Amino acid sequence: MTGSGIRALWLTPYRRVTRWLGFVCIITGVLFFFGQPLFVDGPWAAGSVQANSTTREWGLASWGELAGARNVNDIHGGLDGVDQAIWFSLAVIFSFAVSVVFGALSIKAITKKLKVDPKSDDTDGLAGLVHRSYFSNLPISVRNFRLEARKFWRDGVRSADRWSLIKIISGSSSQ
């Protein structure tokens, strides 16, 4: 993200600090996810990884059982698919919210430091996030989408209809 120059999604106003913070978050997440059975009680206690649901005990896993400890069936205390989908969706929404809020704060610091007027630039989408926050970029993107959507659907559908697979197979294509 820092290499693309989209500053409104940075967590800090500084490129190097944002890179290190991203690196630390990724490494911490991986270590916490895979190492959690070593320091959090769960259905992966010593000797319980291969046990059935009636004999499984809660506790800490050993180093030898760490590889199998993360594979916990939902009847043994793991999450079922619906719970995983809910937690994943909430995590995505939370990460987006954190990125937008911290990006809005950092873009203010960046534009003050660079003496850039974010209102003078009329670009939208990801290019607009270079000097504007998500909140100030959203109305411009929505306005441009409304202006271009009708033309896109009219021309895009017409051009897609020319190379339609059914028309090509049936031999009625204009190509």
C-alpha to C-alpha distance for 27 and 21, rounded to whole angstroms: 10
CA atoms within 13 A on the CB side of 58: 6
Model confidence over 133-170: pLDDT tens digits?
777 778 888 888 888 887 777 776 666 666 666 666 76
pLDDT at 96 over 90: no
The pLDDT of residue 94: 93
Confidence of residue 126 (pLDDT cuts 50, 70, 90): confident
The pLDDT of residue 41: 80
The pLDDT of residue 156: 66
Mean pLDDT computed over every residue of the chain: 75
The pLDDT of residue 14: 80
Rg of the Cα trace of the chain? 25
Confidence of residue 54 (pLDDT cuts 50, 70, 90): low
Where is pLDDT greater, at 44 or 87? Answer: 87
pLDDT at 6 over 80: no
The pLDDT of residue 159: 67
pLDDT at 173 over 90: no
Domain ranges within the chain, ordered by starting residue: 7-39+79-170
pLDDT at 53 over 60: no
Centre a 10 Å sphere on the Cβ of residue 128 and count the other Cβ atoms it contains: 22
Where is pLDDT greater, at 56 or 141? Answer: 141
Tell me the mean pLDDT in the region 101-127. 67
Tell me the mean pLDDT in the region 26-40. 88
C-alpha to C-alpha distance for 160 and 9, rounded to whole angstroms: 34
